[in-house]
Structure 1
């Protein structure tokens, strides 16, 4: 006969996972690092797209404002200021680094000559949350291209 804990442990861990899922649903947190898909269509734009896994992970970090930009490092007290050290035109947040930085704008312009993409002027800066609304506003083909360009930048 097996000891009691050998068959009881899987039941307890399954019940714990079930309870945590119910708690997350009750609190309406939807998406976490453990549940990146959540109930949000915008997250599925990242995770169910055709991009390679490393690009999806990058896009998820970008959407969660988790990239190592100077603004994020200054907020975490790793450096003293968040100004872009290359262009000095403003704070180096994700929007600056991937959209408005001069070399980034040049890459976007070159890619618009090859792919049917809107101008980066149409990408609205809404605090740190600008990627998911952008992906939600365009079709799947364009969103794949946008995420690939962002990853390349």
Structure 2
């Protein structure tokens, strides 16, 4: 095993890898969804996480340049065990950079900021991904 590590990594990395203690239980690794106690992913827990992130964002946690250096939303996004493309989408949503009707109107690329699907309210990231009746139908499916 050490020879294989030496073939793949630098010597200083091999020394650090060899310091890792493995479990004595010899259990197989598995993916776990950290917001749930049982580790199982559910649309309900993802919805709850998304609404919590939105509430935290408007409580002052979304800035990547908080004066105290605390970055809970960004840490939550980048430390999550989801595909990279989902992390990028979450970052764009948290920073207000998704191509929503409100964003498009702000950039003078659209004349209306109303949600094109429900037509009721202005479409921002939170509305498009969580609140809109069509988005909610997907989350609840």
Q: Greater helix share, 1 or 2?
A: 1
Q: Which of 1 and 2 has higher RCO (CA within 8 Å, sep 6+)?
A: 1
